[in-house]
Homo-oligomer: A and B are copies of this chain.
Amino acid sequence: MVKEKLSEQQLKELQRQLKLYKQGVQEIIPTEELEEKLAKSILLNKPLKIKLGLDPSAPDVHLGHTVVLKKLKQFQDNGHTIQLLIGDFTGKIGDPTGKSIARKPLTDEEVKHNAQTYFEQFGKVLDMEKVELHYNSTWLSQLKFDDVIQLAGKITIARLMERDDFEERIAFGKPISLHEFFYPVMQGYDSVVLECDIELGGTDQHFNVLMGRHFQEKFGKTKQIALLMPLLEGLDGVEKMSKSKNNYIGINEPANEMYGKAMSIPDELMVKYFTLITPLTPEEITEIEEGLVKRTLHPRDVKMQLAKLIVQMYHDEEAAEKAEQQFITIFQKGEVPEELPTMTWTGPTSITIVQLLVDTGLLPSKSEAKRMIAGGAIKIDGKKIITDMETTTISHNMIVSVGKRKFMKLLLKN
């Protein structure tokens, strides 16, 4: 037990860090080893290596990602080393079965570009200058068939089939290609190469993160600890926040958009959001929670506090203030906000609404425009558009609105 060798002050530091890292965590496997590793790190004044694996194909960072990023930040603030691992090797391979068109192989340039996009966004949470960047193609692309066989000899089929999604697909008779068994193997091997002390991930990474422990042990290395964070439900309150479910708040979104989206977080998730993605202390959060239970706090006010906090984190105090004001103006007073984006209209004066929505850049495509009209989301000067066959005549200061938060004021040239 290294702990016994610590001075009183060091012991205090150990307790402080342990308490911090355990905040909001879903699972630590195993907790005792975390304490031991931390104690050793403090005793020898040697930072721990904390790994986070990233998929290079989807570099849009949203609040769901920040759950893990915030946890990384705590480690970074205490002097530990963050290892960001871009899993570019699989990205560059693409889908060998050729079934998934979406999984085209990424080029080196795409990988670099996507990684860059990640890092710019991560910079809003982490001090990127202190972060180690790794690409697993560095070592994986060097492995030859006999290395792969040696690696594959260190894990059983039964162990791999324990992964939930594999188990499920086997149960339902859905095919699994042999190469898919290598994805967790690679992730485990990455930890061998990087000699990670701790790997972070969402609870959905439970199996994959434990592969790191497995392979490190097989390669005679010290085993990493799995630190798994809860998954953040998205704005629908049901599914994990993700881009594909369109239930996310991106950390690069404009302040008003961010604030508005945050106001649609379900009430019952507010405390979870405070806990996992804001810098509030456990004590502050408990206070809010109690206020809600005792009804001394109005849920709407609490949500406005959350929305403002989120904008503040990814923009600034001023932007948060403005976003709040705009929200109050539109929703609480039912008005159109004062400061609207404007566009000087140079197109035809008579135009279909569908074309107008696309030409103003409010919507990406005609089909999307038709869908939004059908959904009753489009208004011109406050009048709802009923059919996508409709044509309009552009007038000066005409306001086109999409849903409750997107506006465009058209200006005609002199």
Knowing A141-B144, A144-B143 touch, does A176 contact B156 (C-beta < 8 A)? yes
A148 contacts the other chain (Cβ, under 8 Å)? Answer: yes
Q: What's the dominant secondary structure at chain A's contact region?
A: helix
- A/B interface sample: 28 pairs, CB < 8 A: A90-B149, A92-B146, A93-B149, A93-B150, A96-B151, A96-B154, A97-B154, A98-B153, A141-B145, A142-B144, A144-B144, A145-B147, A148-B182, A149-B179, A150-B179, A152-B179, A153-B177, A153-B178, A153-B179, A156-B176, A157-B157, A157-B176, A157-B181, A158-B173, A158-B175, A158-B176, A178-B181, A178-B185
Cβ of A152: which chain B residues have Cβ within 8 Å of it?
Answer: 96, 177-179, 181-182
Cβ of A158: which chain B residues have Cβ within 8 Å of it?
Answer: 170, 173, 175-176
Q: Which of A141, A147, A157 is packed against the most chain B CB atoms within 10 Å?
A: A157
Closest Cβ of chain B to A218, distance in Å, is: 10
- A: interface residue count bin: 35 or more
Cβ of A151: which chain B residues have Cβ within 8 Å of it?
Answer: 96, 179
Cβ of A182: which chain B residues have Cβ within 8 Å of it?
Answer: 148-149, 152
Question: Do residues A160 and B141 form an inter-chain contact, with CB atoms below 8 A?
Answer: no
A42 contacts the other chain (Cβ, under 8 Å)? Answer: no
8 Å CB interface, A219-243 against B: none
Cβ of A96: which chain B residues have Cβ within 8 Å of it?
Answer: 149-154
Knowing A150-B93, A150-B96 touch, does A155 contact B143 (C-beta < 8 A)? no
Q: Determine the distance from Cα of A182 to Cα of B179 in the docked complex, in whole angstroms.
A: 11
Task: Type the 1/0 row for A180-195, where 1 means its CB is closer than 8 Å to any CB of B.
Answer: 0110010000000000
8 Å CB interface, A341-397 against B: none
Question: Do residues A145 and B150 form an inter-chain contact, with CB atoms below 8 A?
Answer: no
A140 contacts the other chain (Cβ, under 8 Å)? Answer: yes
A95 contacts the other chain (Cβ, under 8 Å)? Answer: yes
Least CB separation from A145: chain B residue? B143
Cβ of A153: which chain B residues have Cβ within 8 Å of it?
Answer: 95-98, 177-179
Question: Do residues B178 and A156 form an inter-chain contact, with CB atoms below 8 A?
Answer: yes
Question: Do residues A177 and B150 form an inter-chain contact, with CB atoms below 8 A?
Answer: no
Least CB separation from A147: chain B residue? B145
Cβ of A93: which chain B residues have Cβ within 8 Å of it?
Answer: 146, 149-150
Cβ of A147: which chain B residues have Cβ within 8 Å of it?
Answer: 145
Q: Determine the distance from Cα of A203 to Cα of B96 in the docked complex, in whole angstroms.
A: 32
Q: Determine the distance from Cα of A314 to Cα of B80 in the docked complex, in whole angstroms.
A: 73
Knowing A144-B143, A144-B145, A145-B144 touch, does A178 contact B150 (C-beta < 8 A)? no
Q: Determine the distance from Cα of A173 to Cα of B152 in the docked complex, in whole angstroms.
A: 19
Cβ of A92: which chain B residues have Cβ within 8 Å of it?
Answer: 146
Q: Determine the distance from Cα of A92 to Cα of B156 in the docked complex, in whole angstroms.
A: 21
Question: Do residues B141 and A156 form an inter-chain contact, with CB atoms below 8 A?
Answer: no
Question: Do residues A160 and B145 form an inter-chain contact, with CB atoms below 8 A?
Answer: no
Closest Cβ of chain B to A166, distance in Å, is: 8
Cβ of A156: which chain B residues have Cβ within 8 Å of it?
Answer: 175-178
